[in-house]
């Protein structure tokens, strides 16, 4: 839930204006609007990568404002995947779990489940630098969901390389939403990506919501 959320950048530019919004558990929400309308700023504030000027962000009953990014039950699919090329696929997926100091057996079973889900079990031992782009994209999504986040944040830069990659990514994030029950917040400026059945499309202009509709 976002309540009266505002963002003014240090140079005085107002990027998000008094945004209030309620999102249900398990929804697939798409923020849609022209470049510069504030979509990524919202995502970054939810993720904790950007300070909030005023307003509140809740996840369930928890006020997220003062909770460190890594302690929010969220995952972000990062631009350019941000994988460690000298590590293998297994270790990249396991990273977040190891940071949480989970027991080895639990890490192992979670990594294997994620690998199975994304059909990348056969490349777990391969170094990132030798796998292809499609595989990297899936490893990045595997790493995002392996910690069982309540919400997955996906910025449009995540798969900007080509149309085919974007379609695959859309398919994968829909599966993550439907089959794993994870709420997905997706940002796009492409109208064609706002026509998927079941999504809630939030149209924005100049930092404000102009329309909300369920597809
Ligand atoms: P979108 O994701 O919709 O393309 P953004 O949230 O990235 O839009 O940016 C919204 C507006 O805020 C844009 O006009 C952008 O130029 C501006 N903006 C983004 N980051 C900063 C910053 N650090 N300082 C000043 N203005 C910024």
List, for residues 58-94, the tens digit of each pLDDT value: 999 999 998 988 888 899 887 667 889 999 999 999 9
On whether the CB atoms of residues 116 and 122 are closer than 8 A, the answer is no
Residues 157-188 have pLDDT tens digits of 777 667 888 888 889 999 999 999 999 999 98
Q: Which residues line ligand 1 (CB under 6 A)?
A: 9, 11, 13, 15, 33, 35-41
Q: Spell out the residues 6+ positions from residue 112 whose beta carbon is closer than 8 angstroms to its own.
A: 121, 124
The token pair at 125 is: 């031992």
Q: What is the mean pLDDT of residues 187-215?
A: 86
Q: Give me the residue label for tokens 């100091």.
A: 101
CA 30 to ligand 1 centroid distance, Å: 18
CA distances (Å), 130 to each of 66, 135, 167, in order? Answer: 40, 10, 23
What confidence score (pLDDT) does residue 133 get? 87
Sign of CA dihedral 24, 77, 157, 207: positive
Q: For residue 16, which atom of ligand 1 is closest to its CA?
A: 10
- Helices then strands, each counted (H, E), the chain: 5, 10
User: pTM for this one?
Assistant: 0.91
Percent over 70 (pLDDT), the chain: 97
Closest CA to 49 of 68, 26, 22: 68
| Alpha carbon of 160 to ligand 1 centroid (Å) | 18
- Residue owning the nearest CA to atom 7 of ligand 1: 40
Of 12-26, 65-79, 93-107, 153-167, minimum mean pLDDT range: 153-167
């Amino acid at each position: 839930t976002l309540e009266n959320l505002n963002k003014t950048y240090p140079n005085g530019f107002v990027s998000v204006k008094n945004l209030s919004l309620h999102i249900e558990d398990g929804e697939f929400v798409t923020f849609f609007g022209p470049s510069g309308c504030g979509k990524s700023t919202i995502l970054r504030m939810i993720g904790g990568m950007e300070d909030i000027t005023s307003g509140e962000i809740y996840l369930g009953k928890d006020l997220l404002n003062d909770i460190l990014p890594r302690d929010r039950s969220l995952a972000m699919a990062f631009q350019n995947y941000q994988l460690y090329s000298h590590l293998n696929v297994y270790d990249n997926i396991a990273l977040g779990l190891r940071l949480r100091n989970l027991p080895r057996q639990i890490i192992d079973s979670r990594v294997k489940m994620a690998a199975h889900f994304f059909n990348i079990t056969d490349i777990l031992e391969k170094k990132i630098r030798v796998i292809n782009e499609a595989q990297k994209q899936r490893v990045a999504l595997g790493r995002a969901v392996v910690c069982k986040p309540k919400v997955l944040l996906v910025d449009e830069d995540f798969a900007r390389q080509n149309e085919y990659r974007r379609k695959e990514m859309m398919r994968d994030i829909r599966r993550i939403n439907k089959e794993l029950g994870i709420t997905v917040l997706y940002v796009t400026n492409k109208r064609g990506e706002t026509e998927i059945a079941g999504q809630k499309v939030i149209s924005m202009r100049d930092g404000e919501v102009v329309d909300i509709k369920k597809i």
